[in-house]
Amino acid sequence: MKNSNLLGKCGTAPSSAIKPDILSIVLKVTERCNLACPYCYFFFSGDETYKQHPPFIPKGTVGEVIRFIRQAIEAGGVRQVRIGLHGGEPLLLKISKFAELCEAFRSALDPLCELMLIVQTNGVLVTREWVELFSRFKIRVGVSIDGNEAVHNIFRITKKGAGTYAETRRGWNLLNQSMADGELPSANILCVISPQQSGAAIYKHFIQELKASGVNFLLPDMTHDSPEATERYIEGCGDFMIDVFKAWSEYGGRKGFGTVRFIDEVIGPLMNDELCRRSALSKFEPLGQFVISSNGEVSPDDVIRGIAPRFRGLNYNVASHQCQELQESSVWQELENARRSLPSACRECVWKSICGGGAYQHRYSEENGFDNPSVYCSALKRFYGHVTKQVVAAGYPIEEIERRLELAWN
């Protein structure tokens, strides 16, 4: 059967599925960048609090972050801690300081929990010395690449407007080869969807030219109040996602190479009861997600800070607050309520168990808060429908899918 590889191992819940006992922290080790990507949510979303923060995280703040995490672990329930070493561009931090930071986390937290260190970089500053550091501390690496040279250089530019594809590809090649040699736990590509581009062409570039084994594509961070979110733009994003799926299918789907996370996040719930429940109820876990700025300030998930002033400048700090205090605060409770409550317009939707109403930032409007379907709703519905048709064509019973989608929110 042509698409039989789509089925893969979706009937088994992966051990890496997100659970409530995971504490996920984005740590701003730098709050400056060597690039000026115009769509960047951190520097160009209207949130300029970074200007009041240290460019590089002080050693004392690292110690307070460790204390904050240890208290959360000691309070019980936290099995795994994921620390994303972020920016700006995290590799602007001196490599010696970066190594001290990683050593501090490993020494303090490895005995207490399963610790995962992750770095997200634009790849421009990657050298062999950086790769050796990532290997030493078992750091998973994500590289932001927007496509081939022509596409990447439209947005991923220096402050003087020059494209950065050549430098990023050089850094990516170092990381990818080191992963192939067994030095790194993983090296993956992260790409922001561009509706003006061909999703299939970009995916093929990643797996044919860049030899990527893991890729994810992110929808641009827009709310219902974003003027750019026109019908044409939204439908273009849907076309992009379907194009990626078609190309992914051509290369063998789940049994091929070039794993795509946003595809797995749809196929898995369609074919597995437990994954469907998790997708519906736990796709976004605000009570386990914190962003810590270089000065120790704590806020919700990064993209949330840019959608409304009340989500930033909260006066919470790792030096003076504990994890439980934040979880009980009005901000985190608002997000938790959004997770548990489908937008009213979504309650009769057949895809509610896959989508869960959509990402918080995509649901938001000044008028209704989070009580909106995703701004990408029409595009997502088309994508889910296309994937489901292909899974059924590959031999999976439609009755099982229908039963699963109906039960997940009950």
pLDDT in 10s for each residue of the chain, 410 residues: 344 466 655 444 443 333 458 999 999 999 999 888 887 767 666 667 777 899 999 999 999 999 999 999 999 889 999 999 999 999 999 999 999 999 999 999 999 999 999 999 999 999 999 999 999 999 999 999 999 999 999 989 998 999 999 999 999 999 999 999 999 999 999 999 999 999 999 999 999 999 999 999 999 989 999 999 999 999 999 999 999 999 999 987 766 556 899 999 999 999 988 888 777 655 568 899 999 999 999 999 888 887 888 888 789 999 999 999 999 999 999 999 988 888 999 999 999 988 888 998 999 999 999 999 999 999 999 999 999 999 999 999 999 999 988 875 55
Closest to 210 in 3D by CA, of 240, 168, 243, 248: 168
Instruction: Say what the alpha-carbon torsion angle 338, 343, 347, 350 is, to the nearest 10 degrees.
Output: -90
pLDDT of residue 36: 87
Distances (CA, A) of 42 to 46, 90, 124, 236, 328: 8, 13, 18, 24, 26
Which amino acid does the sequence have at 285?
E
Q: Give strand pairing partners of 297.
A: 317
**Both tokens of residue 176?**
């990818």
Contacts 24+ apart (CB under 8 A), 247-250: 247/199, 247/200, 247/203, 247/204, 248/203, 249/3, 249/5, 249/6, 249/390
Look up residue 125 and give its DSSP letter.
T
pLDDT of residue 9: 52
pLDDT of residue 13: 44
pLDDT of residue 313: 79
Closest to 36 in 3D by CA, of 159, 144, 149: 159
Angle (CA) 38 41 46, round 5°: 90
Burial class of residue 251 (count of CB atoms within 10 Å of its CB; 0-12, 13-18, 19+): middle
pLDDT of residue 83: 98
pTM: 0.91
Closest to 281 in 3D by CA, of 369, 357, 219: 357
Q: Is residue 46 within 8 Å of 310, Cβ to Cβ?
A: no
What secondary structure does DSSP assign to 9-67, as a single string? TTTS--TTS--TTEEEEEEESBS--SB--TT-TTTSSS--GGGGS-SB--HHHHHHHHH
pLDDT of residue 2: 42
